[in-house]
Amino acid sequence: MDTTQLLLIAGLIALALSNVVTLVLTIYLHRQLRSRPVPKHFDVHVDGTRVFDQQDMAEVQKRADAELEQAVSTAAQQLEASVNRGVQQLSAHVNEAAATSISQEFEKYQANLRALNNQTVQEFANIQHDLDEQRTQLQQQLITEINQERERRLAHFNDRINDVVASYLAEALGNRVDLGSQTAYILASLDQHKDDIKKDILT
């Protein structure tokens, strides 16, 4: 409970107390009025010299009672109005304070939520970036490994194909080779590389 709320509650209590005090004072005064010592009065019967007769006294008493009731009623109405006003004001203050407090808390909540949202978005963006980098690295690694494997297999194939071709030629031709028919081809090949052969001989 913050200071404003405490003050409001204290004010309400003070208001209620003042009204109670007012009421008690009114009742006390009324009693005081009633309990005031009646001055002795001697019945002086002077015929013809009575100021108020009993009927008039009753009337006066009745009017005094009525006025007193009126005064008490008015005081009570005023008290009731004052209490109502106080309650209304207190209620308004409490509502305003609650609204303000709730509004502030809600804004804080929204701000925290926005911050959390932004942080989450940033984290996801970072994760996505890391994933993309890793995927790129893995792809590169895979391509490199595939190329290496392909080269290895090609080299192995080349090694084997050399043997296969040599075996095929040896088996297919056997001893049926005619060197005479190859002479022109061999001499033509030698002519093509004559200069290189001469360079190798002289060095």
Least CB distance to other proteins at residue 156 (A): 14
When the beta carbons of 53 and 196 are compared against other proteins, the nearer one is: 196
**Looking up tokens 């001469």, which residue turns up?**
198
When the beta carbons of 122 and 183 are compared against other proteins, the nearer one is: 183
Neighbours of 86 (CB within 10 A): 18
Closest to 90 in 3D by CA, of 165, 156, 15 = 15
Where along the sequence are the contacts to other proteins (CB under 8 A)?
Answer: 161-162, 165-170, 173-175, 177, 179-180, 182-183, 185-187, 189-191, 193-194, 196-198, 200-203
Least CB distance to other proteins at residue 152 (A): 17
Neighbours of 123 (CB within 10 A): 10
When the beta carbons of 99 and 186 are compared against other proteins, the nearer one is: 186
Structural contact between residues 19 and 83, judged by C-beta atoms closer than 8 angstroms: yes
For 124, the 3-state DSSP assignment is helix
Least CB distance to other proteins at residue 139 (A): 30
Least CB distance to other proteins at residue 148 (A): 21
When the beta carbons of 51 and 201 are compared against other proteins, the nearer one is: 201
Q: List all residues 6 or more positions away from 30 whose beta carbon is below 8 Å from its beta carbon.
A: 68, 72
The two most distant CA atoms of the chain are separated, in Å, by 192
